């Protein structure tokens, strides 16, 4: 499931992050890439020892956890690294798949939170390479794209302006992407029934199915 979600970050949070990143210390993004991704990664990342990094990481993790749709789609157990990247002047990130293990954790779900207005830069689409063809995303500031970490993807060259994003990885309680999607669809339907009919017999049955599937599939 490749899922764009609006308003992961509030406008105030986006403003704060842009302010902190504006005075941050950046390094070549290749420094944190695997040996093969390093060949196609041309961007800059906030240094891990920058004073702002820990605060911004905590802000991003809290925002994803509190957002009901993001939490329902990812069912996060733990967060791996969270990186803050910028690109300009033709910089890009070629086709790659994220590492299976990052920071000692299995990566199940990858996400990108967009921090800059899409009209402020040219290029910079996050392209998912799917069996049905390439699908590009360039979302409003504060929105996020969530996708299985098994997905090939790339970022097209930023030919004007500057693109800033936060990128991170989640270890989910539910390892399998198809199972996570089934739970997401079932939970969405369950909430729709509740909004229409309240706590009905059908809602209770859907809740039972959801809870028992999570119990069956979750790795605690």
pLDDT per 10-residue tile (average), the chain, 220 residues: 98 97 93 80 94 96 98 97 97 94 95 98 97 96 98 98 98 98 98 97 98 97
pLDDT for position 189:
97
Q: How many CA atoms lie within 13 A of 120 on its CB side?
A: 12
Q: Would you state the pLDDT for residue 84?
A: 98
* C-alpha to C-alpha distance for 148 and 143, rounded to whole angstroms: 17
Residue pair 140/120 in contact (Cβ under 8 Å)? The answer is no
Residue 20: its pLDDT value, please?
96
pLDDT score recorded for residue 33: 74
Rounded to whole angstroms, the Cα distance separating 195 from 218 reads: 27
């Amino acid at each position: 499931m490749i899922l764009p979600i609006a308003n992961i970050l509030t406008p105030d949070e986006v403003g704060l992050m842009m302010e902190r990143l504006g005075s941050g210390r950046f390094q070549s993004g290749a420094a944190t890439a695997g040996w093969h991704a390093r060949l196609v990664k041309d961007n800059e990342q906030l240094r891990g020892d920058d004073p702002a990094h820990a605060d911004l990481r905590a802000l991003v993790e809290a925002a994803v956890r509190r957002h009901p749709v993001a939490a329902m789609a990812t069912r996060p157990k733990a967060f791996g690294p969270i990186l803050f990247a910028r690109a300009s002047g033709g910089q890009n990130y070629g086709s790659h798949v994220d590492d299976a293990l990052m920071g000692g954790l299995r990566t199940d779900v990858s996400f990108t939170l967009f921090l800059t207005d899409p009209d402020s830069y040219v290029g910079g689409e996050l392209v998912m390479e799917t069996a049905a063809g390439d699908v590009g995303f360039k979302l409003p500031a504060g929105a996020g794209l969530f996708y299985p970490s098994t997905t090939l993807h790339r970022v097209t060259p930023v030919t004007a302006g500057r693109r800033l994003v936060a990128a991170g990885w989640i270890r989910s309680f539910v390892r399998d992407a198809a199972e996570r999607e089934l739970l997401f669809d079932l939970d969405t339907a369950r909430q729709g029934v509740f909004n229409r009919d309240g706590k009905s017999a059908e809602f209770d049955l859907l809740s039972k199915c959801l809870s028992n599937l999570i119990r069956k599939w979750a790795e605690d």
